[in-house]
Amino acid sequence: MTTDFLLLAFILLGAGAVAVPIATRLGLGSVLGYLIAGIVISPILAALHVDVVAIQHFAEFGVVMMLFLVGLELQPRTLWEMRGRLLGLGGLQVLGTTAIVTAAAIALGQPWTVALAIGLVLSLSSTAIVLQTLNEKGLMRSDGGQASFSVLLFQDIAVIPMLALIPLLAMPELAQEAASHVADTEEHDAGLSLVAGLPGWQAALVTIAAIASVVAGGIYLTRPVFRYIAMANLRELFVATALLFIVGIALLMSLVGLSPALGTFIAGVVLANSEYRHELESDINPFRGLLLGLFFMTVGAGINFVLLSENPFSIIGMTLGLMVIKATVLMALAWIFRLRGADKWLFSLGLAQAGEFGFVLLSFTVANFVMPEAVADRLSLIVALSMLLTPLLFILFERVILPRFDGKNAREADEIDSKGQIIVAGIGRFGGVVNRMLLAAGYETTVLDYSASQLETLRAFDVRVFYGDATRADLLEAAGIAEARMLVIAIDQREATTELVRHVTSTYPHVYVIARAMDRHHVYELWAAGCRDIIRDTFDSSVRAGRSAYEALGIHPYEAERLARIYVDDDRHLLREMADLYDPEVPTHLNEPYVKRARELSAERMEAMAKGGGAFRDRAHSAWLRPSEQDRAATEERQD
């Protein structure tokens, strides 16, 4: 048993690890890699008598998690701002495609209920493939990318009413036929329902109550719970709680007969403004990635090549026909909504496939006796094939269509990029001032801090802070470092700051990094790690204290100011010079050039001191007036 499980896990993980990097390198995207991996291992799985469909049902939880993450990305306000395109583009795309595909299916001889189900299933596109590819190719912020996102989002939401609508299309004869041998499995399902056997209105009440409890729980319950968990400062505990949270919602939704994806999507939107958003995102994301990968592999493994080889022309013909229909509808919408040039093509070709929700809906239609299994199998094949073809369309777009439009897209994208956000890591006394200054000047910041109690205090003063350890690459990713314009590192830990600088300057060279240094050696470390804007946390206040001392000693305030400025300049110069000699690999006292130069500078300073200030004093003395003879005499007297 254990060996079986380990073997299966080994095969699945191994196939992914081999196929995905190859596919990514070939520019085909990770999804296609998983699909191909699944196709390759399908004979092995068959030989081992693995129940691929059972694994697929398990892996479908990745879709639930993905919708949670989609919800997290979607603040209610953003949703509202997108409403025009979301409803217009998205709504017309789903309606138009459903209508034409349904008509085509009727023309091919399907009853209208089955045809409508086919239309609904095939109207959806693949969020996973399209978003992943747009992000990979940097097209997300172009007009075509934004329009695609609106449509995908509408589709993700449209799944929910579809899940409600599809059971109404059930064919009585299918149900009766199935009833005999499905009865026992149904009992299993029915055993876990809150609404079974209730009159309609009571069931509706229970359903509404369940949704309301998700919303209310998201608003009022999550904060104290997550805060309590965060106090323990154990990362795995937080991950476990986040999983518990999602599984719990999915369970509740299943119990009242709603889509778990709907529940987690709502929970995601509710938590989009929460300070735990980025932490949740980075905690759930690996699970989503793994499960979706597994899901795509099972899709690949489930491609019925026997069926394909039986009637290749009709299946491939229908696949191409479907993609032509979808692309045509999208092209018409692009024209109506005034998408221009390359954006129009990106939008039309990018969304021309059927999507992963198609699989979910197909198994759902079969389970609800809407569609004969034979039809669903063929459709599964069509969906999978259309997904396989999508990367080729993207390559077509990139190599053939984009060059014709003279790179206009790329330039427009840059302009939008320039309003990237600012991430402030750590909101103690140091980061707090930086953040307040940025906000005062009208900039938007994303603040990360892992002290739960600090968070609570700041929230009380309406400071928007997210819970999470900024030194974790995945959390930083969730906070949007890839699109960020600037990162201010104001955390207390010296080593962690250096590591963070190294990670960000090498992985995201476009991000401007300002780092807080603890002392002189930390400055060198940060410099070596690639940071070019380093602020010593106590230096400026020390200089001000020195200036106050000058003033109190009777030096004219303006003179004191100049002396302080010269001191700062000298010190920075020195620091800059030593930073080049500093080598993080070699302990300072073994670094010969460093030690040599430090000795020289120290000797210079001693000599200057002996002469009463040396260069420092000379620079301070070169003022607006040429000193008179008396001045010179007086100065010399003072020095002697």
Partner 1 sequence: MAALLHYYAHPGQRFSQVNSAMWRAAQTVEAITSVDLYRDYPRHIIDVGHEQRLIADHDAVLLQFPLFWYSSPSLLKEWIDLVFADGFAYGEGGDKLRGKRMMLAVTASASQQAYSPEGYQHYPLRTFLTPFEQTARLSMMRFGAPYVMFEALKAAPGAHAAGFARLLTAIRDDHFDWDRAEQAEILTHDTLPLTEKA
- CB nearer partner 1, residue 191 or residue 554: 554
- CB nearer partner 1, residue 519 or residue 631: 631
- CB nearer partner 1, residue 203 or residue 566: 566
* Minimum CB distance to partner 1, residue 153 (Å): 50
- CB nearer partner 1, residue 313 or residue 558: 558
* Minimum CB distance to partner 1, residue 562 (Å): 8
- CB nearer partner 1, residue 5 or residue 624: 624
Cβ contacts of residue 325 below 8 Å, gap of 6+?
97, 100, 101, 104
Please give the biggest Cα pair distance in the chain.
117
Q: Which two tokens stand for residue 521?
A: 């050696």
CB 498 within 8 A of CB 529: yes
* Minimum CB distance to partner 1, residue 551 (Å): 9
* Minimum CB distance to partner 1, residue 630 (Å): 7
- CB nearer partner 1, residue 556 or residue 572: 556
SS3 28: coil
Q: What is the rounded distance in angstroms from the CA atom of residue 513 to the CA atom of residue 509?
A: 9
Give 212's Cβ-side CA count (13 Å radius). Answer: 6
* Minimum CB distance to partner 1, residue 335 (Å): 54
First to last CA, the chain: 93
* Minimum CB distance to partner 1, residue 631 (Å): 5
Q: What is the rounded distance in angstroms from the CA atom of residue 65 to the CA atom of residue 260?
A: 9
- CB nearer partner 1, residue 186 or residue 636: 636
β-bridge partners, 465: 447
Q: In what order do the strands lie in the sheet with 486-489?
A: 465-467, 445-449, 422-425, 486-489, 512-517, 533-536
* Minimum CB distance to partner 1, residue 626 (Å): 7
- CB nearer partner 1, residue 537 or residue 561: 561
Q: What is the rounded distance in angstroms from the CA atom of residue 606 to the CA atom of residue 191?
A: 88
CB 422 within 8 A of CB 446: yes
CB 599 within 8 A of CB 578: no
SS3 423: strand
Burial zone of 208 (CB within 10 Å; 0-12 exposed, 13-18 middle, 19+ buried): exposed
* Minimum CB distance to partner 1, residue 539 (Å): 17
Interface residue list for partner 1 (CB under 8 A):
556-561, 621, 623-628, 630-631
